[in-house]
Amino acid sequence: MPDKSKHVHSKISSYLNEPSYRQRDVLSLKRLSSWPQNEIRIQLNENRALQPGFMVRDPEVVIQDSIICKVDWLTDVLCPSVKAALTLNIAKELIVKYKINEDDIGQVTQQVYQTLVNNDPKCLTDLGLEVKKLMKNKKIKKKIEKLALENLKRTYPDLKHKNKREHLMQAFIRIQTDIEQRSITHSLVCAYIVTNLPKYKAELRLSEKKTLSKGRNNDYTFLGAAGSGKSTVIRQFITEEERSNKVALSTDVYRGVFVPGTEAYELRETKQGFIKTQDTAYLIKDLVQAELMGLTSRPDLLIDCVTLEGWHKQLLQGNQQTYSAVAALDDVSLVPERAYKRALSPTSGPADRGRHVHTSALLEGHSKASTYLLSSIPSGVETEILDTNASSQNKLKKIAKISTKIGDEIVSIYDIKKFSSFLGKANINPEATRKGELYYNHKAKTHRFTYSDAYKAEQILKVAISNNIKNKPSFTLLLHGSDMVPYAKIKEHAGKLVLEVVDETLFSQALKSEGGKFLVEIVKQIVYEGLEESRKETFILGEAAAGEKAIQRIKAMQNILHTPRFL
């Protein structure tokens, strides 16, 4: 008995103290104005971009100036040294133009850097002198003062005190100087690389990616939150050789790039791998973005991120072909442990090894991936929603397909339970400290657990509803049976949702199937117009009677739905 009691106590202790749910000491992505003093100290110690020699100015002073000027992100204003700029621009050049294995980008960047510097030992000095020369230009100085004053007035419109104004003006001038110097530095360094790198292509065994004129590209987008199984999805569609011939648009791929000579810092053990690599990865992303947006002919893209940004969508517009997929991991309880183990594993790639993620930020990322699914995918194409819960499957199951073609916005649902569970992650509790709290809403007076079929049905019906404020059109939901034949259609009409039975036999079979209870919940929320009203009706009539009443109403509506005003 004592041994058994000890075992039970150990299991309970393990449940209550899951380390994968206790990573909130890891810093997450925050606007600079939100950095408290203790986080500033951690950033100065851990952030790669804030280490000695990366910036042209003292990082502490840059942070203080940025806070005074109300700068949101450090990457918007910091000016890298010529050495750092050379590293960042080499990485950008390799990512956009050359066939490189994604895991090798950091290593190859180091090799290219050493080759350029060894063959031209004065290049860093010469580039630095050229930057200083251009910064002395009177037109540049006037431009800096003009923009600094405009930004000061915009940021502090009611400022009257002369002495305070002059003090603030100096900070705005320093920040604007950084911005201007950064632009000049990147321009000169980029031109130097474009001229000199091709000389050593053979020596470095570099081959260029295939480029196609605008509109003829075959691009891929793979979306999903951290730990959702995007890597599994990508491996099913693209080989390593094919990946090396595409431009990887993923900040995770860029995390392994660091300035030569900082190896001692890079080898330091740290739990703050996320903020260590985040800013330098974003600086590279900005360079890659600027390069691609200016090209009329480019390689194919492989976009690997949580949600598409506006510039991603611009690059994809008018493509010959875009394949789009979402890694839909519906069981979020797997995520914290996956992320935790991946950070600890010595076999993880440079993007993941040592990179713990703040637990709340990790869970919130999954919530947002479900909440903003429709706005995050490419427009004008079809996106497959793939079940990544069972990664050992030979072929991932397609649980839904979304068409965002204008005037033909359709969500075809093949596994309504799986798809609704994925969308149901919108109700995740980001502050959960163990699995049992993942769908617990402590603010609610009743119905505190948000994982029931009622909540999942509510999320799936939100997909169909239009939102003029968010510029979201209504989507038609096509519900398919196991034979992939549609049996019902849900659409918005005059501001309300209606369910049209496409195939009466299949609809009846679906109601009697394993997922029939969930389908009844959807019918109830359509008929009673929402979750709360459905609950009230269920409370009054009882679950079975409320469900049967809703089904009978749907059946009675079918003749009306086929009249011209509904077609």
Alpha-carbon gap, residue 500 to 487, rounded angstroms = 9
- Taking residue 260's Cβ as centre, other Cβ atoms within 10 Å add up to 15
Is-contact 321 218, C-beta < 8 A?
yes
Is-contact 387 381, C-beta < 8 A?
no
pLDDT tens for the chain, residues 1 to 567: 455 554 544 444 444 568 889 999 999 999 998 999 999 999 999 999 999 999 999 999 999 999 999 999 999 999 999 999 999 999 999 999 999 999 999 999 999 999 999 999 999 999 999 999 999 999 999 999 999 999 999 999 988 777 778 889 999 999 999 999 999 999 999 999 999 999 999 999 999 999 999 889 999 999 999 989 998 899 999 999 999 999 999 999 999 999 999 999 999 989 999 999 999 999 999 999 999 999 999 999 999 999 999 999 999 988 889 999 999 998 999 899 988 888 888 887 777 777 889 999 999 999 999 999 999 999 999 999 999 986 555 689 999 999 998 888 999 999 999 999 999 999 999 999 999 999 998 888 788 888 899 999 999 999 999 887 677 889 999 999 988 899 999 999 888 999 999 999 999 999 999 889 999 999 999 999 999 999 999 999 999 999 999 999 998 888 666 555 444
Element (H, E) at 546: helix 543-561
Buried b or exposed e, range 267-289, using 16+ CB within 10 angstroms: eeebebbbbbbbbbbbbbbebbb
Q: What is residue 387's predicted lDDT score, i.e. its pLDDT?
A: 94
Tokens of 529: 């117009």
Indicate left, alpha or beta for 321 from its phi (over 0: left) and psi (-120 to 50: alpha). beta
What are 237-245's contacts with CB under 8 Å, separation 24+? 237/323, 237/325, 238/302, 240/101, 243/101, 243/102, 243/302, 244/99, 244/100, 244/101, 244/102, 244/209, 245/99, 245/209, 245/210, 245/299, 245/300
Which candidate, 53, 86, 81, 89, places its Cα nearest to that of 182? Answer: 81
Can you list the alpha helix ranges (DSSP code H) found in 345-429? 359-371, 373-376, 416-423
Cα separations in angstroms, 265 against 45, 49, 369: 10, 12, 34
Residue 55, classed as helix, strand or coil, is strand
What are 169-172's contacts with CB under 8 Å, separation 24+? 171/64, 171/65, 171/68, 171/69, 172/68, 172/69, 172/148
Cα separations in angstroms, 148 against 33, 161, 170, 177, 180: 19, 17, 9, 9, 11
- Taking residue 74's Cβ as centre, other Cβ atoms within 10 Å add up to 23
Q: What is residue 319's predicted lDDT score, i.e. its pLDDT?
A: 85
- Work out whether the CA dihedral 495, 497, 502, 504 comes out positive or negative: negative
List, in order, residues 6 or more apart from 361 with CB less than 8 Å away.
Answer: 28, 29, 430
Cα separations in angstroms, 110 against 94, 122, 212, 239, 557: 11, 18, 29, 25, 68
The number of residues making up the chain comes to 567
Residue 207, classed as helix, strand or coil, is coil
Q: For residue 480, what are the β-bridge partners?
A: 486
- Taking residue 116's Cβ as centre, other Cβ atoms within 10 Å add up to 19
**Biggest CA pair distance of the chain:** 86
Tokens of 326: 């979402």
Judging by beta carbons within 10 Å of its beta carbon (0-12, 13-18, 19+), is residue 562 exposed, middle or buried? exposed
List, in order, residues 6 or more apart from 291 with CB less than 8 Å away.
Answer: 92, 96
Q: What is residue 16's predicted lDDT score, i.e. its pLDDT?
A: 53
Which candidate, 371, 369, 361, 339, places its Cα nearest to that of 352? Answer: 339
Alpha-carbon gap, residue 363 to 425, rounded angstroms = 9
List, in order, residues 6 or more apart from 214 with CB less than 8 Å away.
Answer: 295, 296, 297, 298, 318
Tokens of 222: 């793979």
Q: What is residue 389's predicted lDDT score, i.e. its pLDDT?
A: 86
Alpha-carbon gap, residue 251 to 216, rounded angstroms = 25
Alpha-carbon gap, residue 340 to 337, rounded angstroms = 5
Cα separations in angstroms, 362 against 28, 274, 454: 9, 12, 25
